Amino acid sequence: MNNNINIAVVGLGQIGNYLVNELNKKKRDIEIKTGKKIKLIAISAKNINKKRKFKINKKIFYKNPLNIFKIKKVDILFECIGLSDGISKKIVESALKNKIHVITPNKALISKHGDYLSKLAEKNKVNLEFEASVAGGIPILRTIKEGLATNKINKVYGILNGTCNYILSEMESSKDSFSNVLKRAQKLGYAEPGNPKLDLNGYDAFAKIRILSSLSFNKNISKSKCLMEGIENIEFKDIDIADQLNFRIKLLGITELINNKLFERVHPCLVKKNSYIANVSGVMNAVILHGEPVGESVLQGEGAGPGATSSALMSDLLSILRGNIKFPFGVSSKKRKHISSYNLSNYSNSLYLRFEVNDKPGVLSQITQSLAKRNISVERLIQIPDHKNKKASIIIITHKTNESDANKCLKSFNVNRNILKAPTRIRLF
Amino acid sequence: MNNNINIAVVGLGQIGNYLVNELNKKKRDIEIKTGKKIKLIAISAKNINKKRKFKINKKIFYKNPLNIFKIKKVDILFECIGLSDGISKKIVESALKNKIHVITPNKALISKHGDYLSKLAEKNKVNLEFEASVAGGIPILRTIKEGLATNKINKVYGILNGTCNYILSEMESSKDSFSNVLKRAQKLGYAEPGNPKLDLNGYDAFAKIRILSSLSFNKNISKSKCLMEGIENIEFKDIDIADQLNFRIKLLGITELINNKLFERVHPCLVKKNSYIANVSGVMNAVILHGEPVGESVLQGEGAGPGATSSALMSDLLSILRGNIKFPFGVSSKKRKHISSYNLSNYSNSLYLRFEVNDKPGVLSQITQSLAKRNISVERLIQIPDHKNKKASIIIITHKTNESDANKCLKSFNVNRNILKAPTRIRLF
């Protein structure tokens, strides 16, 4: 690698914008640490005229990013567009084929096309770095690939979506409804103003879990969604009851090997209030990792926002500038294993179930009978009356319950007219 | 670097022993990840006949480690002897001069001779890696050098000594005395059976703080001890009173830049019970880091023990095998700055003071008068009588107090015969 490094940044949203600023600010520091002089020679965005906090240098602006390679010699490209397909995939593909190193925070792209793109990078002997795609400012991918390199990892879990964590924390502290808190999160820029669905339904955390699994277990990226639930159905009532039972509700992403099968899941969990993970609040992310021989490792930091994301993007840049050409997933694509998925119907877990019912005689007995029929054993039951409306909430904490038994049982309640809506199920962690 | 890598391990104590086992167990994994075949070709220890859990391969055993290089071609040497000088320094020096990469968990060596040894490594174009020297299984050095590479770090602090943290946690949970808990820690192997002084007096944590400062602030290793206190004078009484005031006592190592001056310190702190750091208990270590733009990062893991230490030693090995030849301190020795020390007498902080006094009229007033004379203002005062012995404990929490005022004031109590021993001072965090 030459000592003068040409850099292109494609996508000038919140992250691209912050990154360009960081690249300018840290030029000298980067030279001290790596001996390389970086130069921003191309930027690209959909719309040059969009209102931005900084002035665009029109001399290096390209409307079509694919034209950059035709005109300029680029060494390293930052893809900051987002989304798994379309122009972001095209530009990354094209860069790698042109032997240009690529750095991206795009978890959707990596969790969908990471296997293909890493092969392309290896074939062209360039880096594909994506530290920023998981848990923003926490250098978790580098820690797995390098800091804990020879550990046998068997479980990784954590809070991987700052939006959901903010909403759940804020619902608890302000005693407010999901929809009100979501509106506040959107105002504060913590949730997408238009369509926050991918954060709320667990998809975002699941993409990150897929990347974490691949690195932790030396495997290809999984294609199937084992178990994915979001926080859309969590009501303040659930948070309040959990609180009384000494629990807190957190959206966790979990990946582990069970008898050499891969069990990836994202769903809300009831976690004990005095546990570490219960006390990670607001937009913070945290990752907990079990390895042999290291034991339990915990990493916590800002999970999103342009500052944290830029920190990760810059660490990727330094890794490339230091000449650490590495396999994107730590080992050669040929050496990455296929691990088949754990059969979800074998999974057993304690459950929190909330039923909204008409306060009529016999309803409780109908519920407990149905549970008993499916071998679901009740550990705790709370009935909260709503006398005014002649309704009640029935909350049940079950003993360990088989997943498919629970599914069948919950389905059976659909036909019961005294059960006013589909019961809420939250798994205990 | 050749594909066949010869490895020597010098020092076969708890760590060396565990490491040799790991090297054998992870051979295949290392080959998959790096393409290199490692071979253990030399081991050395003071005494071949010492009782060990494993059988020593006499064919590769050397009584004098300095002879290894004369007979064998070594690529990478693990120094697992310990201590800052003597044979451990000699063997590291000799290896580097012979263009052999060195990996060591020896914080005493690195914090004393790290500047000199890193220059030697750079001159000979080999690596000197010491991830295991700070916070065992937490890959904190690699995180600072790489994962957070371009962040401007201004403060790093944490629990860096598992022995002290174990003793303080155990005193609280078992309501037992320092000396009893120390004995238990020694039995469990958490504290040196012979001389635990270097752990207890803060020296061990200070060595780690020096290494952390060097990496975080791109500076040479400091020579002076700014502020170092251990936990030897903490009594159960202090832990109990702290508990009542909603605090916990932790030995913290802290390094920060204050107006471009370096302020390194290790001392017991009163930390709020609901803070993160107060809840890191037992032999765990934790490091908290403030960087720009990443914000606050937290890393927690096992701080000591052969498993955690081996995890770090092996990550160093992989870094070398992957060909990541790097400056030991992240930047070239020539580019590392000198930063002068913060003047401790400018430091102000709230203090917890405990006086053991004769329960006589006027004693309290003597204490408060002396405090007032030095501008030390009392925020809270608790007097706990010991009627049987006609004594009392007086506990004072002060407002922010200048360090040199506090020193002078505390000294002045020496001549007061009603104050039965030197007052205990613990700083609030």
Query: Which amino acid is residue B358, in one-letter code?
Result: N
How far does the CA of residue B132 sit from the closest CA of chain A (Å)?
A: 10
* Closest residue in A to B30 (Cα–Cα): A150
Residue pair A337/A220 in contact (Cβ under 8 Å)? The answer is yes
Cβ contact B143–A146 (<8 Å): no
Identify from A311, A325, A326 which residue to disrupt to test chain B contact, counting B C-beta atoms within 10 A and taking the largest count. A311
- With an 8 Å Cβ cutoff, are A302 and B294 in contact? yes
Q: Which of B36, B89, B107, B208 is catalytic?
A: B208
Per-residue pLDDT, A330: 92
The residue count of chain B comes to: 429
Task: Give how far A182 is from chain B: nearest CA, Å.
Answer: 24
- The pLDDT of residue A218 is 95
Residue A271 tokens, joined: 């976690």
Q: Do A146 and B146 touch (CB under 8 A)?
A: yes
- For residue B256, the cross-strand partners are B155, B263
Q: What is the DSSP string of A364-404?
A: HHHHHHHHHHTTPPEEEEEEEEEGGGTEEEEEEEESSEEHH
Confidence of residue B118 (pLDDT cuts 50, 70, 90): very high
Query: Is the predicted pLDDT of residue A324 greater than 80, yes or no?
Result: no
> Is B71 a residue whose pLDDT tops 90?
no
In this predicted model, what pLDDT tens digit does every residue of B195-237 receive, in sequence order?
888 899 999 999 999 999 999 999 999 998 889 999 999 999 9
Question: Which residue is closest to A316 within chain B, CA to CA?
Answer: B147
Mean pLDDT, residues B276-295 taken together: 94
Structure tokens at B1: 């670097």
Q: What is the pLDDT of residue B190?
A: 84
- Nearest neighbour of B310 by CB, restricted to A29, A293, A308: A293
Smallest CA-to-CA distance from A84 within A60, A104, A64, A54 is with: A104
* Active-site residue, from A208, A237, A373, A391: A208
Smallest CA-to-CA distance from A251 within A265, A262, A236 is with: A265
* DSSP states of A191-220: S-SS-THHHHTSHHHHHHHHHHHHHHTTBP
pLDDT confidence of A122, banded at 50, 70, 90? very high
Q: Tell me the pLDDT band of B408, cut-offs 50, 70 and 90.
A: very high
Asked if A149 and B314 come within 8 Å (Cβ–Cβ), the reply is yes
Cα–Cα distance, A336 to A341 (Å, whole number): 16
Q: Assess contact for B346 and B264: CB atoms under 8 A.
A: no
| Least confident residue range of A392-406, B189-203, B410-424 | B189-203
- Contact between B231 and B172 under an 8 Å Cβ cutoff? The reply is no
Instruction: Report how far residue B429's alpha carbon sits from residue B242's, in angstroms, rounded to the nearest whole number.
Output: 13
Q: CA B115, CA B125: separation in Å to the nearest integer?
A: 15
Interval B316-343 mean pLDDT? 92
Distance CA B382, CA B357 (A): 13
Per the CB < 8 Å rule, is A315 touching B139? no
Q: Check: CB of residue A267 under 8 Å from CB of residue A159.
A: no
Identify the residue whose tokens are 């020579």: B223
Residue A314's pLDDT is 96
Q: Do B148 and A22 touch (CB under 8 A)?
A: no
Chain A hits for B147, CB-CB cut-off 8 Å, are 131, 139, 142-143, 147, 315
Reading the block at residue B49, the tokens are: 């006949």
Domains plus CATH for chain B? 4-129 (3.40.50.720), 148-302+329-342 (3.30.360.10), 345-428 (3.30.70.260)
Residue B308: which of A32, A295, A323 has the nearest Cβ? A295
pLDDT of A374 above 90: yes
Per-residue burial over A272-287, b if 16 or more Cβ lie within 10 Å, else e, is: eeeebbbbbbebbbbb
Secondary structure (3-state) at A262: strand
Chain B contact probe: residue of A134, A294, A336 with most B CBs at under 10 A: A294
Tell if the CB–CB gap between A33 and B150 is shorter than 8 Å. yes
Calculated CA dihedral for residues B145, B150, B152, B154, nearest 10 degrees: -20
CB atoms B150 and A30 under 8 Å:
yes
- Report the SS3 class of residue A98: coil
- Cβ distance A150 to B298 less than 8 Å, yes or no, reads no
Measure the CA–CA gap between A94 and B312, rounded to whole angstroms: 38
- Tell me: the pLDDT tens digits for A194-204? 788 889 999 99
* Catalytic status, residue B360: no
Q: Tell me the CA end-to-end span of chain A in Å, nearest whole number.
A: 48
Q: What angle do CA B347, B352, B354 make, to 5 degrees?
A: 130
Q: What is the mean pLDDT of residues B156-180?
A: 96
Nearest to B398 by CA among B366, B362, B367, B359: B367
DSSP codes joined into one string, B381-416: EEEEEEGGGTEEEEEEEESSEEHHHHHHHHHHGGG-
The answer, yes or no, to whether residue B194 has pLDDT greater than 80, is no
Nearest to A308 among B32, B286, B295 (CB): B295
pLDDT at A210 over 90: yes
- Phi then psi dihedrals of residue A330, to 5 deg: 85, -35
Candidate from B33, B146, B147 with C-beta closest to A149: B33
CA neighbours closer than 13 Å in the CB half-sphere of residue B27: 12
A137, A148, A292 ranked by CB distance to B139: nearest: A148
Choose, out of A34, A315, A325, A329, the residue to mutate when testing the contact with B (most B CBs < 10 Å): A315
What tokens were used for B368?
A: 């408060």
Distance of alpha carbon B152 from alpha carbon A22, whole angstroms: 11
The DSSP string of A303-355 is -SHHHHHHHHHHHHHHHHHTT----TTSS-GGGPBP-PBP-GGG-EE-EEEEE
Distances (CA, A) of B232 to A96, B267, B330, B426: 59, 11, 36, 12
Task: Provide the pLDDT for residue B371.
Answer: 96
ipTM value greater than 0.95: no
pLDDT of residue B131: 97
Nearest to A295 among B33, B302, B335 (CB): B302
To the nearest whole percent, how much of chain A has pLDDT over 70? 100
- The whole-angstrom separation of Cα B364 and Cα B355 is 10
Query: What residues contact residue B177 under an 8 Å CB cut-off, 6+ apart?
Result: B171, B235, B236
Place of tokens 């206190």: B229
Task: With CB atoms and an 8 Å threshold, state whether B139 touches A146.
Answer: yes
Looking at the predicted structure, is the pLDDT value of residue B387 above 90?
yes
Q: What distance in Å separates the CA atoms of residue B271 and residue A200, rounded to the nearest whole number?
A: 36
Grade residue B168 by pLDDT with cuts at 50, 70 and 90.
very high
What pLDDT sits at residue A136? Answer: 87
Please give the helix or strand (H or E) that residue B154 lies within, else none.
strand B152-159
Which residues on A lie below 8 Å from B150 (Cβ)? 22, 26, 29-30, 33, 311, 314-315, 317-318
- In this structure, of A163-167, B148-152, B316-320, B402-406, the range with the lowest mean pLDDT score is B148-152
Q: How many CB atoms lie within 10 A of CB A374?
A: 17
Q: To the nearest whole angstrom, how far is the Cα of A311 from the nearest Cα of chain B?
A: 6
CB-based burial label for B51 (10 Å; 0-12, 13-18, 19+): exposed
Four-CA torsion B406, B407, B410, B411, nearest 10 degrees? -150
pLDDT band at B324 (very low <50, low <70, confident <90, very high): confident
- Token pair, residue A135, equals 């848990």
What percentage of residues in chain B have a pLDDT greater than 70?
A: 100
Average pLDDT score over chain B: 94
- As a whole number of angstroms, the distance between CA B36 and CA B316 comes to 14
